[in-house]
Structure 1
Amino acid sequence: MSSVIFTILCSLCFCEGAKILAVVSTPSYSHQVYFHNLWRELLARGHHVTLISTEPIYDNDLINLTNININATYDAVDKMKLMGKEFSMWQLINQFEDFLRTSTKLHFSHPEVKKLLNDSSAHFDLVIYELVASSLVYSWKFSCPSILVSSLDSSLEDHFILGNSFHPLVTPEQNVHIADPEKISFLEKLVSITYSVSCISFMYTKFYPAAEEEIKKQLGYDVPSLWELSRNISLIMDATNPIFHNIRAVGPNTIHIGSGLHINKPKSLPEDLKDFLDNSPVPVVYFSLGTNVKGNLLNQTTKAEFYKAFSELPYKFLVKVDWENLTIPKNVKVARWLPQQDVLRHANVKLFITQGGLQSLQEAVTNAIPMVGIPFFGDQFQNVQKIVKRGIAVKLHRHEISKETIKNAITKVLTDPTYKQKVEEMRDLMYDEPMTSLDKAIWWIEYVLRHKGAPLFKSNAANMPMYEYLMLDVIGAVLAFLIVLSVFIKLIYKSLKFILSRLIGGYFVKSKKKRD
């Protein structure tokens, strides 16, 4: 009886709710909105959430939510002009270092952030952070476990830190441009291996030191190295799914929530949009290049080619763009923002033209909508290649856009029923699991809270230096032994040959003298 009472009391204490600090500093709307449902669900379960974010949630009904708005970090993206450009491997590494330095400065110079870190009475039970390792400062400052969440696949560096597999040919880094991740050419192998080794090396020599320097400048006190802090990450939750990513060997402290954490319940469409879709006698094609691909990344000629192609096809087009000064065809409806999930749910929407962002692909597969993919940067290239491989999309290269290529891609997908059939199969595969992405995420967050971390799940590989993980010390020792052994054998052979030659040579000389 006493044990039952003790259990109930413990449960009541836990139900009071934990104090959670959520830090999503990435200056990108798609990265932010992916986690909004997670914060809402934690609040609904009685937890207190302080959200440091570039896209706060302003809702008066969420009484246990505290927002710290750091949207000034968008200036880091604008300053570096990262979005939409195609960089070489070395340019990308240098750009990322500059971006990390600038965004870290903007983040930790924020008055409310400084106030929170200098508040001696502040307390948190858990830090949940996205992508940027400098956020681990909060976990150190408040002496609590941390969970890394990602709206994409976790980065190569994060997998390395937790001791997961990071084979550059089995699971190439998502920013490496590879035509087909399942059939990598020799040149692509060289690029992928070089990029992977460089990323891990530069993590210690460039990326972490750049962030650490800015953190110390802004906070005015010494903070342990980010490498040291990252060794205490309890868990990674990423948005991977076998439909969109190669299989990777991971430990139990890596949880995949890639079926669409951000998928919302259906909502009613605005009347004008509902009327456009409901009353369409022909299939509707939805066109959106996401939040980060702006109109200035395409020239006016290319934009005009889209509209020319749309005007000559027997379909209606719903287009989300910020384009201006172009004549809009009669069969096209244009808006700067559209409720994408509810648009894709509409029965008359038959095709989605997308840049290949992971959340957009999840939404399309959720609603069994085949696609035309036009990748621009980052993971979009591998994402689009993967859905093309799955038979649910056609790829259109951004530098090969013309009226004819657009018409051909759209016609191919809409007139071939196998694209629709394949995407329906992919939808069933993606959701063929007992828990939703949100339920799984909440369960593991509360697991970490209950156990004050998850140290038993950590792989021994996480504590090994690179040379030891790759067995270079053993391989080197074996090679050294073989070299010494071969040299020793060769010396013995030479010595014996010399001795025998002298003995045998002397014998024949003596024999010849006797005969003479």
Structure 2
Amino acid sequence: MFLSRVFLFTLIWIQTGAYNILCLLPYPGKSHYMVFEPLLQELESRGHNLTVVSFFPKQNQSNRRDVDLRSLASLNIEIVDLRDFDYSVFGLEKYFEHIPLITGLAKSNLHLCKRILDSEMFEEFIAAKGDYDVILVEHFNSDCMLGIIHNYGLPSVGLMSTSMLPWTPRRVGASDNPAHIPEMMMPFTSEMSFFERIQNTICHYFYIWWYEIAIRWEEQRILEKKLGKRLPKLENIAKNTSVVLINTYHVWNGVRSVPPSLLEVGGLHLHNKILQPLHPDLEKWVSEAKDGFIILSFGSLIRGSTLPEKRLRTILKVFARLPQRVVWKWEGNFIDVPDNVLILKWLPQYDLLRHKNCVAFITHAGLLSLTEAVSAGVPMLAVPILGDQYGNAAHAQRVGIACVLRLQNLDEVTLEDSLKKVLTSEMRERAKLVSKQWQDRPISPMENAIYHIERTVRYKGQDMSTHARWLSTWELELLDVLVFIVGTLVIAFLVVRNAFNSFHRKEKQC
């Protein structure tokens, strides 16, 4: 088997050649990098030469060089305090709480952009040194690295660890109609009520114009000052991206009309994922759970041990009444828990989800966690906290594999009722069915991603986006055509009316 894989990779390398690839991953979020790292490893294994600029460097290998950005910012690991999100203002917080978070994060990345551009380790990329064939760059809430793409004059491939951001569709000429396309920060699916469409529309256009004015204009200024030359608009550089690899798949993330340049590769981070044996004590604990076990984890960004005292007491009371056992990721000091609860500072989440005794997953609805649960066929209780987690949870609920419970509404009754629904045989069977549909694809996410990266190099770029990306809002919404038609009708009406009046005046004179 090993020799056959070596032969296959050798054959691929002979056919395609080894490409020089520059990877710009300037965001210090671990969950983001976890999506990209398997892709980088696969490119390495196929003989391509990589230069990776990131906050998560690996040991340099024969065909990979890492540029370490860790000295420029702290890593975004377990930094979110749940107490900051446990409040309610007449129930309105779910409509507005994402605004300070998203705008604050983008502003933070704006400052990080300047630090990276001014850093000593980034000087070679400012000077466009190195002989590269293609640039892989993260598309998130900063376009700072797009100026580097233009600096090299190379084709690029976008990487997205999240679902689509408000400004993503216009870059590839896809529809972004808020009447049926929910914003990633909103707890909606494509089936929205009138009031929800109002909220979604306001949110959509607010973020598009705010991002353009507050972030992109400033990044344009910073880049032009640093590079010492005028650049095309960053938005236009983004529109020349050959392919955008996005970490979703329509089976549970929802169906959207997109051009071939927007490639869904949800599950990319699970490529060649090998189940690891659990620690003997943990294996014993979960294997002896007669009614199965539940996992509780809030991921790598949120510090789960910052649960407000009121919510913590509620959860412990409900857990004590469950026949199932619970494995709980708790990063702080150990606390007194019921006999059926085991707390650990770190969980082998993927391995636990794949365990035959796992019956449910209580999660913050991060995209990676939900993807792993969907892959394993495990039903979920989603407690979204921030960012795209609201939209992720809504889509999981829509396809029948999750119940959603907001932290502000978490009490004994709602938690117990939600867990009862998640633990039903119907939801467990539904989760298994969706898992099969999710995995049943004509080509694996990794093969799809690699093919389009290599194809981009072979043809020195790809043009697979629609021309709609180059149209202004005025043209795209046919407002210019509408004005022309209305103007023509008005002029025609005035001409006919004047002619009619003139005819009547002549008749009277006769």
TM-score range (shorter-chain normalised) is: 0.7 to 0.9
Mapped contact 1:127–1:145 kept (Cα < 8 A): yes
> CA 1:14 to 1:126, structure 2 compared with 1: closer, same or farther past 3 Å?
farther
- Alignment correspondent of 1:445: 453
Cα distance, 1:446 vs. partner?
A: 1.0
1:439-495 CA distance string (max 9 Å, x none):
11111111111111113x232222222222222211111111122233444445555
Instruction: Answer whether contact 2:163 2:388 (CA < 8 A) is retained.
Output: no
User: Contact conserved, 1:156 with 1:173, CA < 8 A, in 2?
Assistant: yes
CA contact 1:261–1:437 (8 Å) conserved in 2: no
2:27 alignment counterpart: 26
Residue 269 (structure 1) aligned with residue 278 (structure 2): yes
Distance 2:98 2:378 in 1: 34
Instruction: Give 1:417's match in structure 2, choosing from 399, 420, 425.
Output: 425
When normalised by structure 1's length, the TM-score is: 0.86
**Residue 114 in 1 paired to residue 123 in 2?**
yes
RMSD: 2.8
Aligned letter for 2:483? G
Post-superposition offset of 1:344:
0.5
Question: Any gaps of 5 or more consecutive residues in structure 1?
Answer: 1-9, 505-516
1:280 maps to: 289
Amino acid at match of 1:276: W
8 Å Cα contact 1:260-1:363 kept in structure 2: no
Name the structure 2 match of 1:160.
170
2:69 counterpart residue number: 70
Aligned residue number for residue 98 of structure 1: 107
Deviation of 1:11 after TM superposition, in Å, equals: 8.1
Partner residue of 2:197? 189
Measured in 1, the distance between the counterparts of 2:31 and 2:499 equals 69
| 2:58 pairs with 1:48 | no
Q: Do the aligned partners of residues 364 and 380 (structure 1) sit closer, same or farther apart at CA in structure 2, a change above 3 Å counting?
A: same
Segment of structure 1 superposing worse, 24-33 or 219-228: 219-228
**Residue 118 to residue 156, structure 1, CA distance change in 2 (3 Å):** same
**Partner residue, 2:6:** none
**Alignment length (residue pairs):** 486
2:3 maps to what in 1?
none
- C-alpha distance in 2 between matches for 1:350 and 1:81: 27
**What percent identity do the matched residue pairs reach?**
23
Instruction: Give the counterpart of 2:380 among 367, 371, 374.
Output: 371
The aligned residue for residue 509 of structure 1 is none
- The alpha-carbon distance between structure 1 residues 90 and 388, as it changes in their structure 2 partners (threshold 3 A), is closer
2:152 maps to 142
Q: Does 1:482 align with 2:492?
A: no
Note the alpha carbon deviations across 1:382-425, whole angstroms, 9 max, x for none.
211121121111111110112332222222222x2110111111
Cα deviations across residues 130-150 of structure 1 (Å, max 9, x unaligned)?
124222223222221100011
Q: CA deviation at 1:368?
A: 0.9
Tell me whether 126-135 or 272-281 shows the greater mean CA deviation: 272-281
- Residue 5 of structure 2 corresponds to none
Aligned to 1:459: 466
Partner of 1:436: 444
Letter in 2 for 1:138: I
- Whole-angstrom CA distance in 1 between matches of 2:243 and 2:279: 40
Q: Distance in 1 between matches of 2:18 and 2:444?
A: 22
- Measure, in 1, the Cα distance between the counterparts of 2:72 and 2:365: 24
Higher Cα Rg, which structure: 1
The 10-residue stretch of structure 1 (201-210 or 330-339) with the greater mean CA deviation from structure 2: 201-210
Q: 3-state DSSP class of the match of 1:197?
A: helix
**How far apart in 2 are the matches of 1:93 and 1:490?**
55
Sort the Cα spacing of 1:399 and 1:109 in 2 relative to 1 into closer, same or farther, 3 A. Answer: same
* Distance apart, 1:276 and its partner CA: 1.8
SS in structure 1 at match of 2:274 = coil
Higher RCO, 1 vs 2 (CA within 8 Å, ≥6 residues apart) = 2
- Contact 1:260–1:359 (8 Å) recurs in 2: no
Contact 1:108/1:218 (<8 A) preserved: yes
| Equivalent residue, structure 2, for 1:169 | 179
Moved more, 396-405 or 41-50: 396-405
**Contact residue 285 and residue 316 of structure 1 kept, 8 A:** yes
Q: Structure 1 336/498 Cα, relative in aligned 2: closer, same or farther at 3 Å?
A: farther
> After superposition, what is the alpha-carbon deviation per residue over 1:17-58, rounded to whole angstroms, capped at 9, x for unaligned?
111111222222111101111111000000111111122234
Separation (CA, whole Å) in 2 of partners of 1:409 and 1:476: 52
CA contact under 8 A between 1:35 and 1:262: conserved in structure 2?
no
Matched, 1:348 2:367: no
Rate the CA distance shift 1:93–1:359 in 2: closer, same or farther, 3 A.
closer
Unpaired stretches in structure 2, ≥5 consecutive residues: 1-10, 86-92
- 8 Å CA contact 2:30–2:76 kept in 1: the answer is no
Q: Which amino acid aligns with 1:71?
A: R
Tell me the CA shift for residue 218 of structure 1. 4.9
Distance 1:218 1:210, change over 3 A: same
Q: Is the CA contact (8 Å cut-off) linking 1:259 and 1:430 kept in structure 2?
A: no
Partner amino acid for 1:34? V
Structure 1 CA distance, aligned partners of 2:349 and 2:261?
Answer: 33
